[in-house]
Chain A
Amino acid sequence: DSGVTQTPKHLITATGQRVTLRCSPRSGDLSVYWYQQSLDQGLQFLIQYYNGEERAKGNILERFSAQQFPDLHSELNLSSLELGDSALYFCASSGQGPRSEAFFGQGTRLTVV
């Protein structure tokens, strides 16, 4: 158990819909990362938050947004969903030190039909 909790584990939704994925980081970790993993794109970095503030942005679509709340949990919002958004979405958290590793949740498998 990594200590990072993601909900839900599975999500099936229709095209055009909006969903919210939730992540609770390990106790004490201030950084949260979101990644998308699909068969043809590998592991793509989407966005990072540090203590409530956006720290880095990767290949995140404009239809996607995220935030980190004061209790440090994070949500990834995906809207106007397309078939191509079907993927595994991972959240990871890490401590403050520049050399600390990241711990991953089990992921949310999103299927858009």
Chain B
Amino acid sequence: GDSVTQMEGPVTLSEEAFLTINCTYTATGYPSLFWYVQYPGEGLQLLLKATKADDKGSNKGFEATYRKETTSFHLEKGSVQVSDSAVYFCALRGYGGATNKLIFGTGTLLAVQP
């Protein structure tokens, strides 16, 4: 079945460092891919999405490119801030299936230190 694998955390960075959180997926057909962020004590919020191969999603300085050849959707940010500290979830939604449910990775905790 469809699945998402993301790098285990926690990831600890200093402010202004470069961030990469790896995400790979297994799916049939052409899924849509998402990154969600969960700040402490809150629900999940959509950070960015990409719906077809080679699409780049971007928001708040974060970017991720849908790479079908490597089945990846890695999250990157050039310069992280303390306020980016949160848990990041990679997710996919299968296309055309009867369920179209969202499948999440296990989440990666990012801690940014001043």
Contact = CB atoms under 8 A, between A and B. Distances in A.
Nearest to B52: A99
Contacts of A101: 32, 34, 46, 49, 93
Interface residues of B, number: 24
A25 interface: no
A107 to B, nearest CB: 5
A102 B46 CA distance: 8
B20 interface: no
Given A98-B96, A99-B32, A56 B101 contact: yes
Nearest to B32: A99
Contact of B89 (A43, A48, A58, A94): A43
B91 to A, nearest CB: 8
B45 interface: yes
Contact of B32 (A31, A90, A98): A98
Q: What size tier do the contact residues of chain A reach?
A: 20 to 34
Contact of B103 (A31, A45, A103): A45
Interface in A59-113: 90, 92, 94, 98-99, 101-107
A85 B45 CA distance: 24
B79 to A, nearest CB: 26
19 contacts: A2-B43, A43-B44, A43-B106, A43-B107, A45-B103, A55-B101, A56-B101, A58-B101, A90-B43, A99-B51, A99-B93, A101-B34, A101-B46, A101-B93, A102-B102, A103-B46, A104-B44, A105-B43, A107-B43
Interface of B: 32, 34, 36, 42-46, 49, 51, 89, 93-96, 98-104, 106-107
